[in-house]
Amino acid sequence: MANSYNILLLGSGGRESALAWKLRQSPLCARLFIAPGNGGTSAFGENIPQAPTDFESLKTFCIENKIDILLPGNEDPLVAGIQDFFKADEDLRHIIVCGPSKAGAQLEGSKAFSKKFMQRHGIPTAAYRSFDKHSFEEGLDWLSQHLLPVVIKADGLAAGKGVIIAYTYEEARAAYTAMIQEAQFGEAGSRVVIEEFLMGIELSVFVLTDGEGYVLLPEAKDYKRIGEQDTGPNTGGMGAVSPVPFADEAFMEKVIEKIIDPTIHGLQLERITYQGFIFFGLINVHGEPYVIEYNCRMGDPETEVVMPRLDEDLVALIVDMEKGKLSNRQARQKPQQACTVMLVSEGYPGEYSKGKAISGLEKVEGSLVFQAGTKSGIEGLVTSGGRVLAVTSLAENLDDALATSYRNAELISFEGKHCRRDIGWEFRKED
C-alpha cells in the first residue's frame, strides 16, 4: 500500500479551497493538484489549467503525474461519467475516484430519477408527478388542480436555477410552459417535476460512503437567498453554519433510519456503484425530515464549515472508502460552532463585474479565508466570480464565531464587496 498519495481535485470554488486546505493537512497527501483551482488554492497545491470535464486531458495529466486519488468537487464531471471513464480505462483503473458512477450521479443529475428512487425505497419526500412535452397538457391540468404554492423543477442540472416556487396559478403555468415548450433550461428542462411545497427549515446532511457503509460528516445549514431574512433571489449560497441546533440526536436518528440507510441500501439493491459523498438536502417539517434533493458531491458553502469541523484525516477516510472499510468507522467532529460568511460581488446573483483588486487578507486574524471567485495574476489578487471569499470562523458559540467572521470581513476590501449580515439569524442568542 502506498503511504502517500498524489491527489487531483477538480473544481474552482470555495468548496474546493476548503477541500484543498483539508487534504493538504494530511500526512498521506503527497502532491496535490487542483484543476483549474482559483487564486487561493495554489497555497495548498498546484493549479493546473485542465477543465474538470475534459476527460482526455485529465487522463494524460493523471498518467504523467502518477495520480492516485481523483476527487471531483463539483457535479458536472460526475454527471458526465468521469468515474466510469476512469474505471473503463486500463491506465486509470487503479486510481481511487471519490465520487459515484454516472448512474449514481443521477441522484443529482435527474430530479425525475431521484424522485422515483425515493418512491421505490420509501424515502420521505414531497409528493410529485413528472411531465414532458408528450404529457404537456396533462401537466397543465394537474397544475390547475394543485394546491398553492406549488414547486416546479427542471429535471436536469440547471446550476441551481431550475426550481420555481409559484404562489399563483398564472406563475405556475408560465414557469411550466417556459421549461417544457420554450426550453428555458435546454435539455435540463425538457422534463419537469411538479411537487408539493413543504414548509420547514432546511439543512444539509453529508456522508462519505463506500457503497455499503458510510461515515456521517458534520451537518450544516446554508443561506441561499441574497437578501437578509431569506428574501430575494437564490444564490449559490451566502453563508453557512454548523452544527445545526435542531439536528439533535433524536432528529438525526430519524435522518439515519428514514433517509440515509434506505438510500444506501437502495443504491446497493439497484447495483448502482457509489463511492463518494452524498449530500442530502433535507427539510425539517414539524420534526420529520424529508428529502428536498440529493447531490452527488459536497455543498458550497457548507464545505467551508464542514471541513473545519471534521476532526479526521480526509485522505485516510478516502482510502478507507476505497477499501470498503467505512462500515465500522466514525468520523469525529470538533465540538465548536462554525460559520462562514460569503463576500460577494456587487450585483450578484445578477450581473456583476470582475477584476476588482482584493486587499486586506493579511490583516485577517482568527478566521480561515477560503477563496472562491478569485484569480491571481501580475496585477495581484482580483475578483473573478460572484462569490469571492468565504470567511470561516470556529468558536465556543455561534455568536462568537459570527463576530469573528464579520470583524475579519470588514478588514478585507474589494470594490462592490457585499455580504449578508444575518447568517445564522434563526439560531442566534443576541438581537
Tell me if 8 sits within 8 A of 61, measured CB to CB.
Answer: yes
d(CA 387, CA 160): 14
Judged by CB under 6 A, the residue of 76, 84, 293, 312 near ligand AMP is: 293
Residues 6 or more apart in contact with residue 369 via CB below 8 angstroms = 40, 361, 389, 390, 391, 392, 408, 412
Residue 222 site contact among ligand AMP, ligand GLY, none (CB < 5 to 8 Å, cut-off depends on kind)? ligand GLY
Judged by CB under 6 A, the residue of 237, 239, 243, 373 near ligand GLY is: 237
Tell me if 254 sits within 8 A of 284, measured CB to CB.
Answer: no
- What angle in degrees, to the nearest 10, is found between the helix axes of 14-24 and 314-322? 90
DSSP for 311-324, please give it.
-S-HHHHHHHHHTT
Is residue 193 close enough to count as binding ligand AMP by CB under 6 A?
no
Q: How far is the CB of 323 from ligand AMP (least distance, A)?
A: 32
Judged by CB under 6 A, the residue of 16, 75, 195, 320 near ligand AMP is: 195
Is residue 139 close enough to count as binding ligand GLY by CB under 6 A?
no
d(CA 187, CA 79): 14
**What binding mask, one character per residue, do residues 205-224 give for ligand GLY by CB under 6 A, x or -?**
-----------------x--
Q: Which span (5-13, 169-177, 293-301, 383-391) binds ligand GLY, by CB under 6 A?
A: 293-301
Nearer to ligand AMP by C-beta: 96 or 126?
126
Q: Which span (86-94, 158-166, 334-342, 362-370) binds ligand AMP, by CB under 6 A?
A: 158-166
Is residue 16 close enough to count as binding ligand GLY by CB under 6 A?
no
Q: How far is the CB of 233 from ligand GLY (least distance, A)?
A: 15
Residue 195 site contact among ligand GLY, ligand AMP, none (CB < 5 to 8 Å, cut-off depends on kind)? ligand AMP
CB atoms within 10 A of CB 211: 18
Nearer to ligand GLY by C-beta: 195 or 300?
300
Is residue 302 close enough to count as binding ligand GLY by CB under 6 A?
yes
Is residue 361 close enough to count as binding ligand AMP by CB under 6 A?
no
Is residue 256 close enough to count as binding ligand AMP by CB under 6 A?
no
Is residue 151 close enough to count as binding ligand AMP by CB under 6 A?
yes
Residues 6 or more apart in contact with residue 134 via CB below 8 angstroms = none
Is residue 202 close enough to count as binding ligand GLY by CB under 6 A?
no
Is residue 129 close enough to count as binding ligand AMP by CB under 6 A?
no
**Which SS3 state, helix, strand or coil, does residue 168 take?**
coil
Is residue 97 close enough to count as binding ligand AMP by CB under 6 A?
no
Is residue 198 close enough to count as binding ligand AMP by CB under 6 A?
yes
d(CA 379, CA 212): 49
Nearest residue to 52 via CA among 13, 89, 14: 13
Q: Edge-to-edge, what's the strand order for the sheet holding 221-222? A: 221-222, 239-242, 337-344, 387-395, 368-371
Is residue 126 close enough to count as binding ligand AMP by CB under 6 A?
yes
Nearer to ligand GLY by C-beta: 5 or 279?
279
Is residue 156 close enough to count as binding ligand GLY by CB under 6 A?
no
DSSP for 100-116, please give it.
--HHHHHHHH-HHHHHH
Tell me if 415 sits within 8 A of 387, measured CB to CB.
Answer: no
Nearer to ligand GLY by C-beta: 163 or 178?
163
CB burial of residue 64 (10 Å; 0-12, 13-18, 19+): exposed
Helices (H), 216-323: 249-255, 261-269, 303-309, 314-322
Nearer to ligand AMP by C-beta: 48 or 165?
165
Q: How far is the CB of 293 from ligand GLY (least distance, A)?
A: 8
Q: Among all chains, which residue has been given the C-alpha cell 436555477?
A: 161
Is residue 300 close enough to count as binding ligand GLY by CB under 6 A?
yes
Nearest residue to 398 via CA among 221, 238, 263: 221
Is residue 109 close enough to count as binding ligand GLY by CB under 6 A?
no
Nearer to ligand AMP by C-beta: 198 or 240?
198
Q: Which span (28-36, 197-205, 242-250, 387-395) binds ligand AMP, by CB under 6 A?
A: 197-205
Q: Among all chains, which residue has been given the C-alpha cell 435522518?
A: 255
d(CA 61, CA 50): 9
Judged by CB under 6 A, the residue of 281, 289, 349, 386 near ligand AMP is: 281
Contact positions vs ligand GLY (CB under 6 A): 222, 237, 295, 299-300, 302
Contact positions vs ligand AMP (CB under 6 A): 126, 151, 153, 160, 163, 165, 195-198, 202, 224, 281, 292-293
